[in-house]
Homo-oligomer: A and B are copies of this chain.
Amino acid sequence: MSKLPTRFEGPRQSPGFMLWKIHFAWQRALRPVFERFDLTHIQFVLLASLCWLEQKDGVQQIQLSQHTSIDPMMTSQVVRSLEGKAFLERERDPQDARAWRLKSTAMGRTLIRKVLPQVEAADQAFFESLGAGVGRFVRDLNALEPEPR
């Protein structure tokens, strides 16, 4: 076939295509770590983020959703599965009858303390090929984050 209407010499020059590929490679690299603890990736993200946000104060479900960019429906589903596993508790917000306030349990925090170092180790191995450039890469990713709506 004749030339494609593209600005790039090949797919490897396209930032979108490469972002998508590397994201999948990263998912595959991390999956064994989560499976070891019978967690899904999204369960880990929500529970670890809750533990992080909690360092301040009580956390609304919607805040957790916004912080992780996980949409409210998905957050609702997964938070309830984490509640079922007794890794967190939900209480009605006394200030806002619509909202839930989330609190990690001791079990949940213990789990994250075990998982987090292994996740970071797997991360470090995955991003090793960037060497010291990983800091710059992280700054680039931060620059790409869209404004919250």
Interface residues of A (CB under 8 A from B): 1, 3-8, 10-26, 29-30, 41, 45, 48-49, 51-52, 54-55, 67-69, 104, 109, 112-113, 116-117, 119-120, 123, 126-127, 129-130, 133-134, 136-138, 140-146
Contacts and interface: CB of A to CB of B under 8 A. Distances in A.
12 contacts: A4-B55, A6-B117, A11-B49, A16-B127, A19-B19, A19-B22, A19-B23, A21-B145, A25-B144, A130-B140, A130-B144, A136-B136
A49 B14 CA distance: 12
A13 B137 CA distance: 10
| Top 3 A-B pairs, shortest CB-CB distance | A18-B141, A23-B23, A16-B123
Nearest to A20: B23
Contacts of A123: 14-16
A28 to B, nearest CB: 8
A135 to B, nearest CB: 9
Given A130-B143, A140-B137, A117 B5 contact: yes
A14 B117 CA distance: 12
How many monomers of this chain does the complex have?
2
Contacts of A67: 11
Nearest to A23: B23
A138 to B, nearest CB: 5
